[in-house]
Structure 1
Amino acid sequence: MSLRSEHSRRSILAGMGIAAVGLTFGLEGCSKEKTAVADGEEAKLNFYTWDTYIGKTTLSDFRAKTGIDVNMSLFATNDELFAKLKAGNPGFDVIVPSNEFVQRMSEADMLMPLDHAKIPNFKNVEKAFLDPPYDPGRKWSMPYTWLVLGIGYRKSKVQGVPDSWKYLFDSDQYKGRIALLSESADLIRLGARYLGHSVNGIDQATIDQVTAMFIKQKPNIKAFHEDNGQDMLLAGDVDLVLEYNGDIAQIMTEDPDIDFIVPKEGSLLNSDTLCIPKGAPRPNNAHAFINYLLDAKAGAEIAETISYPTPNAAARALMPESYRNNPVIFPSGIGFDRSEFGKFEGAAQQSAFETAMTKIRAA
């Protein structure tokens, strides 16, 4: 997988290149050269994460501090991550699944319980992230970033503030100027939220109702995007887009005509996390790396680079006011207050979401 130059939730550091010490793109050859060991472990670590979802100097700083080389491999989706480890861990020490997949992977016995004694920087985490519903007590995961879906829009092209999902899901007011996220679970859940339901526990009748709504709306939709909706908005291809707050925050620095809102009906929260997969060859190094990523200074460097909201209170305190008080990076208001984390509710439910999306695309 190569680095992409466009902005994306998963592709943020266009100028990063491959300068970080120890950075590779695959496991091949990454652990053949033996180096000094600590606690009986080779001074290496295999990190499996999203595309350029790290600070510019994080890996080299970690190496300077610990002597441990980090070899970074990339995945594009949670499904890819899950499939890669389902048949057995090929050698990864730290992975970055999203919240639903923490639950899914722990239930499938694919994760190693964390030793909190080896992660003293857990004390830096915001109170709201200490005991999430997808991982009570943080047995399996540590928080890395969080994000919320909402509407990115071009102010000069939209009348007022588009404070409802209706503008995207159930109206022809901006026909041909709308882009929706193509991920099936996110789209169906948000459609259900617009219709007054929780994003969890959605029954088949509601899925069918949401499917019919999107099929009716489809002539008004320009594209179902692959998490590059912010690029379409920035380029002027669309005027309203379903996207993550971090993505829109990034392009707002380039174009003051762009803004973001979490619709009043509420939305879907996500959190990307740090986990140790079962069978990790270097669990001590893994704990050390996770602890380092939760360090205040390291966390601030990551947040400064990727422009996503950090759950690290100590890191946030080191950031400039323009970050700490940015209402897009850290949303508030009725829509945000009504937002929920999605739960993994089994393969059958996921299949139902995918079937619905197939019907929408085929209509």
Structure 2
Amino acid sequence: MRLALLVLLLALAAPARADDTLHLYIWNNYISPETAARFEAWCGCRLKQDYYSDNEEMLAKLEAGAAGYDLLVPTGNAVHTLIRKNELQALDHQRLQHLANIATAFADPWYDPGLRHAVPYATTVTLLGFNATKLAELGLPTDSWALIFEPAHLQKLKGKVTVLNSQRELMAAALRYLGHPVNDTDPDHWRAARDLILRAKPYWATFSNSTYIKDLAIGNIWVAHGYSNDMFRARADARAAGRPFAIGFAIPREGAVLAVDNFVIHKSARRPDLAHRFIDFMLRGENAADVSNLIGAGNPNRAALPYIRPEVAGETALFPPPETLQRLEMLRDLEPQQRRLMSRLWTEIKVK
């Protein structure tokens, strides 16, 4: 049925000239095929996507001179970095007729007051995904970062744990477990977090930003440090395949990272007109709901809420209640000297 719908939408789309292409640089698995096809049919243009799996990867590619991307989808702290580097075009709010659909809580973010450069698209929480059946058998907790950091637990999980290949995300988890904020910049706390990670590393299978979705869904791994929308997909894949186990995911009680990903127009954009059309298309409630219903992300668009399936909207790891939100923090950008120290510590983590 889905394939037939996609074929029909593409057949109905007006023929697009070669230059009527919107170039989108985005996280893996963050725009559903259904949404992309519907936009192309509505726009009469093409949507070409390139993918990254970490903000640092995206920033490094741009720093190396990558150009030609119209739209990017960075997290708040990366938006702040791009603004400071004068890498973004200002948005034309007159072209964004549905901008008022952004919920008040997201309409004036610290990283871009007044949404001059960025439009919030989706929210995610960095948390723990797990094989609930296996962990119940082992008697292990699923509500604490101890699951990936404590040898007493990891001895039962050796070779069955993956963590994100992201210096900021993994250090943030370690800092929270040690009782510090995710944006703590005390070098001694960073070194303690490094030591915690190095103690646990021999028990982990790998550092992964994307393969953990499949590995968790088929049972190759039992615990994954990753993003809430990825865990949503892993659970759906396991159910669809009729796996003899259940996938669960939970926000650790010590606290975690909340990410707000945003549409921004890069300074090298060749088609800012198409970029504005895409953003406004995605601001419509029925389109904005797709990222929740089909991808499993949280949603900063209040017009989307009536279109989000109740079982998705009721998932507290995707839409955290107020008491949980108090334990979540957004990553902030680092100063150059701090970034250098973080990079050195990360190198130590990866090579030892």
2:164 paired residue number: 181
> 3-state DSSP class of the match of 1:172?
helix
Superposed, 1:120-269 pairs within 5 Å as 120-158=97-135, 159=139, 161-175=141-155, 176=158, 177-253=160-236, 254-255=238-239, 257-269=246-258
1:309 counterpart residue number: 298
* TM-score, structure 2 as length reference: 0.84
Kept after mapping to 2: 8 A contact 1:56/1:302: no
- Give SS of 1:232's match: helix
CA contact (8 A) 2:232 2:295 kept: no
Partner of residue 359 from structure 1, selected from 341, 348, 352: 348
Amino acid of the structure 1 residue aligned with 2:175: A
What letter corresponds to residue 231 of structure 2 in structure 1?
I
The alignment partner of 2:39 has SS state of: helix
Q: Using the alignment, how far apart are the partners of 2:214 and 2:41 within structure 1?
A: 36
Distance 1:193 1:15, change over 3 A: farther
Cα distance, 1:208 vs structure 2: 0.8
**Structure-2 change in CA distance of 1:268 and 1:240 (3 Å):** same
Shift of 1:97: 1.7
Identity among equivalent pairs (%): 27
Partner of 1:72: 49
CA distance 1:332–1:168, change in 2 (3 Å): farther
Could you tell me how far apart the structure 2 residues matched to 1:355 and 1:15 are? Answer: 47
For 2:278 and 2:257, the matched residues in 1 are separated by 29
Q: Counterpart amino acid of 1:267?
A: A
Structure 1 residues 213 and 126, CA gap change in structure 2 (3 angstroms): same
Aligned mates of 1:87, 1:153 — CA distance in 2 = 37
Q: Secondary structure at the match of 1:133?
A: coil
Aligned-residue CA RMSD in angstroms? 2.8
In the alignment, the residues of structure 2 paired with residue 240 and residue 63 of structure 1 have an alpha-carbon distance, to the nearest angstrom, of 38
**Does the C-alpha gap of structure 1 residues 238 and 66 become closer, same or farther in structure 2, counting only changes over 3 Å?**
closer
Alignment-derived partner of residue 326 in structure 2: 337
Contact 1:233 1:239 in 2 (8 A): yes
Aligned twin of 1:26:
none
- Identify if the C-alpha distance between structure 1 residues 280 and 100 changes in structure 2 by more than 3 Å, giving closer, same or farther: same
Letter aligned with residue 102 of structure 1: V
Residue in 2 that maps onto 1:117? 94
List, as ranges, runs of 4+ consecutive aligned residues in structure 1 with deviation greater than 6 Å.
none
Contact 2:251 2:317 in 1 (8 A): no
Counterpart residue type for residue 166 of structure 1? A
Q: Residue type matched to 1:323 in 2?
A: V
Which position in structure 2 is the counterpart of 1:6? none
Aligned to 1:7: none
How far apart are 1:183 and its partner, in Å?
1.0
Counterpart Cα distance in 2 of 1:52 and 1:252:
15
Judging by fraction of residues, say which structure has more helix: 2
Q: CA deviation at 1:32?
A: 7.7
Partners of 2:287 and 2:174 in 1: CA distance: 38
Q: Distance in 2 between matches of 1:294 and 1:142?
A: 9
Alpha-carbon distance between aligned partners in 1 of 2:25 and 2:145, rounded to the nearest angstrom: 34
Alpha-carbon offset, residue 294 of structure 1: 0.9
Distance 1:359 1:89, change over 3 A: closer
- Among candidates 337, 341, 344, match of residue 348 of structure 1: 337
Match of 2:242 in 1: none
Q: Shift of residue 161 of structure 1?
A: 4.0
The match for 1:320 is: 309
| Partner residue, 2:38 | 61
Q: Tell me, in whole angstroms, the C-alpha distance in 2 between the residues paired with 1:224 and 1:242.
A: 9
Residue 262 of structure 1 contacts residue 336 of structure 1 at CA under 8 Å; is this kept in 2? no
Unaligned 5+ runs, structure 2: 240-244
Q: Which runs of no fewer than 5 residues in structure 1 stay unpaired?
A: 1-13, 23-30, 35-42
Deviation at 1:360, TM superposition (A): 2.3
**Shift in Å, 1:151:** 1.2
